[in-house]
Amino acid sequence: MKRRLLQIESIPQSSWGVSLANLLPKEDWDKIRKKVLKGAGYRCEYCGAVDRTLHCHEAWEFKYSEQRLVRFDCVCELCHDSIHYFGTTQRYKNKLSYIEKVMKHIEEVNGITRKQLLAYIETRKEVNRKRAKKTYKITVGKWVLAWK
């Protein structure tokens, strides 16, 4: 199985908490989540972990003023916290050892150095600044219905 590279998502504050997991009835979301995890063989699609808690991650694309759901990924908790790096640093601001663990995980999964990671984080911060100036319309394609 080809693994994906971890990409830190730049979610504008206006879109925080906007997810199918929060918008759908729990039983509908659980059906989607279970299909995604099963489809990935209960293995993280980023690091390959099978021994960590797995999550169903919603990958969104931001173009113009549209926030569009593009796919679901099976991710371990550590990869999920890596993808949501900026939120993770806020949630764990008093637990620097966990933030360090997340940073090392990104470096390991992506095969990059700390210097490269820090430069990458700065580019994502710039994307955050640009996206913060907009409000996004949520678009979920009909393909999502096939997951229910």
- For the cut 60, the answer to whether the pLDDT of residue 1 exceeds it is no
How does residue 141 score in pLDDT terms, banded at 50, 70 and 90?
A: confident
Considering the entire predicted model, what is its pTM? 0.90
What pLDDT was estimated at residue 57? 96
Contacts 24+ apart (CB under 8 A), 117-121: 120/8, 121/8, 121/85
Buried b or exposed e, range 100-111, using 16+ CB within 10 angstroms: eebbebbbebbe
Sort residue 5 into left (φ over 0), alpha (ψ -120 to 50) or beta.
beta
What pLDDT was estimated at residue 136? 87
Report whether 16 contacts 136 (CB < 8 A): no
Query: What does the pLDDT look like over 55-84, one tens digit per residue?
Result: 999 999 988 888 889 999 999 999 999 999
- Percent of the chain whose pLDDT exceeds 90: 66
Is 79 a domain residue? Answer: yes
What average pLDDT does the structure give for the chain?
A: 91
What pLDDT was estimated at residue 105? 98
Is 27 a domain residue? Answer: yes
Is 50 a domain residue? Answer: yes
Containing domain of residue 68, as a range?
Answer: 13-137
Is 147 a domain residue? Answer: no
Is 30 a domain residue? Answer: yes
Q: How far apart are CA 96 and CA 78, in angstroms?
A: 15
Is 1 a domain residue? Answer: no
Q: How far apart are CA 65 and CA 134, in angstroms?
A: 7
Query: What does the pLDDT look like over 8-43, one tens digit per residue?
Result: 998 887 787 888 888 889 999 999 999 999 999 999
Q: Which two tokens stand for residue 17?
A: 């908490």
**How many structural domains comprise the chain?**
1
What pLDDT was estimated at residue 37? 97
Is 5 a domain residue? Answer: no
- What is the average per-residue pLDDT within 83-93? 94
Is 87 a domain residue? Answer: yes
Q: How far apart are CA 75 and CA 84, in angstroms?
A: 12
